[in-house]
Amino acid sequence: MAGENGGRRSSVFAGLLLILLGVIFLLDRFQPAFGIGHLIRLYWPALLILWGLAKLIDHLAARRVGQDRAPLLSGGEAVLLILLAVILFAFVFRDWARQHYPQWHFEPPLLQGSYSQSEDLAPQSISAGARITIETARGDVNIEGAEGTELRVMVKKSVPAATQSQADDRLKDVRVVIQQAGDEYRIYTLGQDGFGGQVSVGLDVHLPKAANVWAHTASGDITAAGIAGRLDVRADHGDVEIHDAGSDVAAALQHGDVRIRSVAGSVRLAGRGDDVELADVSGDATIDGVFLGSLEIRHVAKTIRCSCSRSDLTIAHLTGRLELDAGDLVLSGAGGPAKVTTQDKDIAVTNVAGKLDIADVHGDIKVTFATPPREGANITNDSGSVDITLPAESSFEVSAVSRSGDVESDFGDSSLRTGDQGDTEQFHGKFGEKPGAPRITVATSYGTIRLRKMR
C-alpha cells in the first residue's frame, strides 16, 4: 500500500543509462584510441552492477519517503536497455572488424565522419634502375611507371573525426618520409599507429619505369602499371591490380581479389583471397594458396602451376583459358601437356595438344579432342562419369574400366574387346590404322564411360 505521499517512485536507472551512453559516445569521439569496444567486451558485467546500484537507491529512497518502490524493470527502461545493448554490440563489432577485417572501414551509425588532407612531397631525381620500397599500414597504394628519372609521391591522409579542425589536429604528426640509401629508396609513414589504427595514408607514386618496386599495405588496395623492373607487392587486406609489367611479378595477399594482365616475365601469386584473374603472361604463372572465389587464366606462354581450391594443376603453354571455381574446372586450349588433380568438381577439357592426365573425385569429366590426339591420356575418376569425344579419323589404343557402371562406345572396330566381370564393365583395343597411336586409359567407379565420335 502507498504511504502518506502516495504514488510510485520513478527509478533512477534510466537516467544512469543515459549518462553511461553519453560517456561512451564522448570517449569514442574524442579518444578513439581508447578502445571502447574492447573495454565493453571485458567489462560489460559492470552494467549489472549499475542496475543493482540503481535499484538499491530506488528502494532506500522509496522507504525514506514512504512511496512504493519502483518495479524491477519498467517498459521504458526495457526499451532503453535494449537500445543500449544494440549500441554496445555495435562498438564491440566495430573494433573486432577493425582488427580482423580492416578493409571494411566499418563505423556504427551516428558516429563520426571522415576527413582528409592531401599533400605532394618534393620530387626527387633517382637512377632509372633504383629499388623503391613503399609501405603504409593502412591506405591504398597506386604505382605508375613513366619515362625519365623523377620520383614523385602524392599523399592522401584520412582519419575519422567530429570536425575538420579535429582531423587536422589528429593528422598533424602523421607524415610520409622518403629515405635514401644509395640506389635504394624507402617511402613509409610515421605516426600512423594512433587513434585505434584508424588513420589511413594513401600513396600515389610515380617513378621511373625501369625501377624495381616492392610495395606493402596492411589494409588497402595496390595498383601498379607500366613498371618494367621487378615488381613485388603484398596487400594483407585489399585488392591487387597489375598490368603492363615488363619483368617478373610477385603478389601476396590475405583477403581480396587479384587481377594481373600483360606481364612480360613470370607471375607468382601466394596467400589467401577471393577472385583471381591472370592474362597474357609471357613466362610462367605460379599460384599457391587458398583462393575461394573464381580463378580465370588466359594465355600463358610457359607453364602454369596452380595449387589452390583443392586442386593441383600443371599446364604447359595455355593458348586459351582456364576457369576454376567451387564446382567446375574448364580448360580450353593448351599447346603442351596438362595434369589436373582435383575433387568435387565437374571437369571440361578441350583442345589439349600434349599428354593429358586427369584425376577427379565426385565429379563428371568431359574431354574433347578437336583434332586426332597425338599424345596419350590417363583419366581416373571416383564416383563420376567420363565422356570422351574424338574425331572419327582418330587412331588410338584404349583401355576403359568402370566399376559399378557402364561403358559405351561409338567406335565399333572389331579389335575393341568388351567384357563384364561381376559389377565391372570394360573394353580394350585399338582403333585406326596409324602406327604408334597414343594410348587412352580411363577408369572410374559408379559412373559411365562414353567414347564418342565427333559429329
CA diameter of the chain:
117
- Asked whether residue 423 falls in the same domain as residue 350, the answer is yes
- Asked whether residue 69 falls in the same domain as residue 140, the answer is no
- Asked whether residue 332 falls in the same domain as residue 440, the answer is yes
- Asked whether residue 68 falls in the same domain as residue 156, the answer is no
pLDDT tens-digit profile, the chain (455 residues): 444 444 555 566 667 777 777 777 766 665 555 566 667 767 677 777 777 777 777 667 766 766 655 565 666 667 767 777 787 777 777 766 665 555 444 444 444 567 888 999 999 999 988 999 999 999 999 999 999 999 999 999 988 777 788 788 878 888 999 999 999 999 999 987 755 567 899 999 999 999 999 999 999 999 999 999 999 999 999 999 999 999 999 999 999 999 999 999 999 999 999 999 999 999 999 999 999 899 999 999 999 999 987 899 999 999 999 999 989 999 999 999 999 999 999 999 999 999 999 999 999 999 999 999 999 999 999 999 999 999 999 999 999 999 998 999 888 755 556 666 668 888 888 888 778 899 999 999 999 999 999 87
| Residue 126 included in any domain | yes
The owner of cell 595449387 is 307
- Asked whether residue 314 falls in the same domain as residue 430, the answer is yes
- Asked whether residue 93 falls in the same domain as residue 123, the answer is no
For 177-224, give the secondary structure using H, E and C: EEEEECCEEEEEEECCCHHHHCCEEEEEEEEECCCEEEEEECCCCEEE
Contact 334, 327 (CB under 8 A): no
Q: How many helices (H) and strands (E) does the chain have?
A: 6, 32
Query: What pTM was estimated for this model as a whole?
Result: 0.75
The boundaries of the domain holding residue 42 are: 13-104
The owner of cell 644509395 is 182
Residue 403 to residue 380: CA distance in whole angstroms: 12
Q: How far is CA 399 from the centre of its chain?
A: 42
Q: What's the full length of the chain, in residues?
A: 455
| Residue 232 included in any domain | no
- What's the total number of domains in the chain? 3
Burial class (CB in 10 A: 0-12, 13-18, 19+), 45: exposed
Boundary (domain end) residue, out of 104, 133, 156: 104
Boundary (domain end) residue, out of 104, 131, 147: 104
| Residue 377 included in any domain | yes
- Asked whether residue 447 falls in the same domain as residue 326, the answer is yes
| Residue 382 included in any domain | yes
Residue 253 to residue 219: CA distance in whole angstroms: 10
Residue 118 to residue 68: CA distance in whole angstroms: 63
What DSSP state is assigned to residue 95? H
| Residue 375 included in any domain | yes
- Write out the DSSP string of 105-141: ----TTS-EEEEEEEEPPPEE--TT-EEEEEESSS-E
Boundary (domain end) residue, out of 181, 198, 220: 220
